[in-house]
Amino acid sequence: MMGPEILGELVDRHSRALVLYARQWCAAPEDVVQEAFLKMVTYWPAPHKVVPWLFRVVPNAAISASRAEKRRRRHEAAAAEYFLPWFDAGEDTVLDGRTVAQALQALPAEPREAITLHLWGGLTFEEVAEVAGCSSSTAHRWYLAGLDLLRERLRIHARSEF
């Protein structure tokens, strides 16, 4: 197993070049390089030529990270198409995602958490209660109170599916 002094020296000498190298394949090259160093430390037996090994592992990990990010975006887009819009805006109402996000962020913590866990997380009110440390009826009350506050702040009529 590699000692901390050697690892520190390798990180100091090669991490910048590895990050630059990984950047051509993914959006989070620092994470990929960090994971490569962690993999190297646990690799047994240690690679004979460490630097070439890192320059081989980093692009593979960066390409995998890029593919995973693309898959995640596709899944999120497909999930977003599946769900109905939260609100029906009136003919004279202009509503955009930023406005809704700001209104949601301005809610008190409990209603915001209940709305986020239920609508985005897909949790039941029993599961929301477990996460929030309250009863399911309290979680439901927080959810309804949060929706009422959002309706008031956004001056819109909410869909009846809620």
Query: Could you tell me the mean pLDDT of each successive run of 10 residues in the chain, 162 residues long?
Result: 81 92 92 92 81 90 93 84 60 69 88 88 89 93 93 69 44
What pLDDT was estimated at residue 89? 54
Residue type, 143: Y
Residue 97's pLDDT is what? 73
Largest CA distance in the chain: 69
Amino acid sitting at position 122? G
Question: For the chain, which residues make up each domain, given as ranges?
Answer: 4-82, 87-158
Domain spanning 87-158 has what CATH number? 1.10.10.10
pTM of the model: 0.49
Q: Which of 109, 90, 111, 87 is nearest to 100 (CA)?
A: 87
Angle, alpha carbons 55-57-58 (nearest 5°): 70
Of 110, 113, 101, the C-alpha closest to 154 is: 101
The pLDDT of residue 91? 60
